[in-house]
Amino acid sequence: MIRRTMTEVDVKLGIRQTLAKIDEAYSKRLKTSNAPKPLLVAVSKTKPVDLIVDGYSIGQRDFGENYIQELIEKANNPTILEHCKDIRWHFIGRLQTNKINKVVTLPNLHMVQTVHNTKLADALNKAWEKVKAANPDKQTLNVLIQINTSGEDEKSGTEPAEAVNLYRYLSEKCPNLNCQGVMTIGRFGHDYSTGPNPDFIELMSCHQRICSTFGKDPAELLVSMGMSDDFVQAIEMGSTIVRVGSSIFGARAKKNEA
């Protein structure tokens, strides 16, 4: 298991400060959008369970992980099961098809944010069929479409031009999945002095195309974008889910992201 690092991190303070910044960015945006207040997903990857319990104790419910094995361990961890009964796990990493059955059966899995093609959609849809058969109270699995807005080879995601088609596929062919919106990671280290983040512009344009093609209210289709360095800018551009890790839990030992 992962141990607490030498320097103690104040997760509660980190969450409170992040929520305050979300509030402020949201209040600035209100004039132009009726989208819901952004949801904070606290990204706890590589961080120990006791820090998650700390965050949970002040009301944080949504946590994100992007390594499957780590999510499996944490979601089944006895301390988490005992102290964080209403935790909502978001899977935000690359999902290999052979791990799907492990993921869909996790306690308190709330959403898979990284559906990027029809093959993965089909596999999740099929796997959820079995979950439903065993637990009739589980209706659908929440998913987002991950879009590779930066076109980088190492980033996962469907091409922006395919977003509408993948949304159609999910709505028409995957009755066990509830596609709630779109997500991007984007290029790291955008220099905001050069203007708005092109990844956020691209994701909002996919969002817009999906809404207009399917006659959806833009406020009802979620947009997951923005991390520690840029969640405020992301909210100003329309984000409704921010995924914040290091500024809550402290820096990670190694910087190798999804």
Q: Taking CB under 6 A as the rule, which mask of x and - marks residues 229-248 in contact with ligand PLP?
A: --------------xxxx--
Terminal-residue alpha carbon distance, the chain = 21
Q: Which of 40, 43, 71, 210 binds ligand PLP (CB under 6 A)?
A: 43
Nearest alpha-carbon partner for 144 in 72, 67, 241, 227: 241
- Give SS3 for 204: helix
The secondary element (H helix, E strand) that includes residue 51 is: helix 49-57
Q: Taking CB under 6 A as the rule, which mask of x and - marks residues 72-101 in contact with ligand PLP?
A: --------------------x---------
Q: Which is nearer to ligand PLP, 26 or 91 (CB)?
A: 91
Q: Which of 14, 26, 38, 45 binds ligand PLP (CB under 6 A)?
A: 45
Minimum CB–partner distance for residue 246 and ligand PLP (Å)? 3
Q: Which is nearer to ligand PLP, 73 or 257 (CB)?
A: 257
Cβ atoms of residues 228 and 210 within 8 Å:
no
Nearest alpha-carbon partner for 238 in 90, 26, 64: 26
Q: Does 148 contact ligand PLP by CB under 6 A?
A: no
Q: Which two tokens stand for residue 178?
A: 């509830």
Q: Which is nearer to ligand PLP, 80 or 227 (CB)?
A: 227
Cβ atoms of residues 124 and 105 within 8 Å:
no
Angstrom distance (rounded) from CA 158 to CA 145? 8
Question: Cβ contacts of residue 95 below 8 Å, gap of 6+?
Answer: 68, 103, 112, 114, 115, 120, 124
Nearest alpha-carbon partner for 81 in 112, 58, 106: 106
- The residue type of 81 is L
Q: Does 227 contact ligand PLP by CB under 6 A?
A: yes
Q: Which is nearer to ligand PLP, 207 or 243 (CB)?
A: 243
Q: Total residues at the site for ligand PLP (CB under 6 A)? A: 13
Query: If you compute the radius of gyration of the chain from its CA atoms, what whole number of angstroms results?
Result: 18
Q: Does 116 contact ligand PLP by CB under 6 A?
A: no
Burial of 85: CB neighbours in 10 Å, binned 0-12, 13-18, 19+: exposed
Minimum CB–partner distance for residue 175 and ligand PLP (Å)? 27
Measured at CB, which residue is nearest to ligand PLP? 245
Minimum CB–partner distance for residue 188 and ligand PLP (Å)? 8
Q: Which is nearer to ligand PLP, 159 or 257 (CB)?
A: 257
Q: Which is nearer to ligand PLP, 92 or 111 (CB)?
A: 92
Q: Which residues bind ligand PLP (CB under 6 A)?
A: 43, 45, 66, 92, 185, 227-228, 243-246, 257-258
